[in-house]
A and B are shown apart, each in its own frame.
Chain A
Amino acid sequence: KNEVEQSPQNLTAQEGEFITINCSYSVGISALHWLQQHPGGGIVSLFMLSSGKKKHGRLIATINIQEKHSSLHITASHPRDSAVYICAVLAYGGSQGNLIFGKGTKLSVKP
């Protein structure tokens, strides 16, 4: 079983829909990252959080440490949001640089 599981693996939405991507992890963590990866490989860090909720524009990330679960929400989705969204955690006890990544959720937003 992977230490970081994301769902769904693939998601197709119509423009304007509210989108939720989920991340569950099985290890104790110091922080959790949500990353966006566009075709061609470039990765952009969207959020880094260790508790509560963060919001940036149409993106919202939440984390529940007790339940070991995080969600990424996209409001009013747009075709330019189409990308792979990756959850990654920084585990307690491991190397400070050793992120554990989920396999990603491929999002496609149709106009």
Chain B
Amino acid sequence: GAGVSQSPRYKVAKRGQDVALRCDPISGHVSLFWYQQALGQGPEFLTYFQNEAQLDKSGLPSDRFFAERPEGSVSTLKIQRTQQEDSAVYLCASSLGLRDILYYEQYFGPGTRLTVT
């Protein structure tokens, strides 16, 4: 079946531009996660949704970062007024994650590589 997909795969933005990154989770997956991975580093948690509810946004680095999942399926990560330090790969993952999601594996998308010039 289809896995997690992300678009675009690559995005080049000029400093100050707004960008929107899309994640299509696996159909039926309740939980959705966004991670940021800087070059040479492990991913870092940004935010997590259970259905349409954003239950944790503690990892968002600034108020320029905003994520939504209005209908509990597709999610969009928006970055306003991009800065060079925003350059990274943005990974999305989903899991079946019902009431107790501690024991559900996460399935990762291919990522969106954002380069801010």
> 7 more A-B contacts (CB under 8 A) besides A95-B48, A96-B97?
A35-B108, A43-B43, A45-B108, A86-B42, A95-B45, A99-B35, A103-B41
Task: Compute the total of residue contacts between A and B using a CB distance below 8 Å.
Answer: 78
Interface residues of B (CB under 8 A from A): 31, 33, 35, 37, 40-45, 48, 50, 55-56, 58-59, 89, 91, 93, 97, 101-103, 105-111, 113
> Which A residues have a C-beta under 8 Å from some C-beta of B?
4, 30-31, 33, 35, 40-45, 48, 50, 86, 88, 90, 95-104
- Inter-subunit contact A33/B44 (CB<8 Å): no
The answer to whether A104 and B42 touch across the interface, beta carbons within 8 angstroms, is yes
User: B56 touching A95 by the CB < 8 A rule?
Assistant: yes
Which of A30, A98, A103 contacts B48, CB < 8 Å?
A: A98
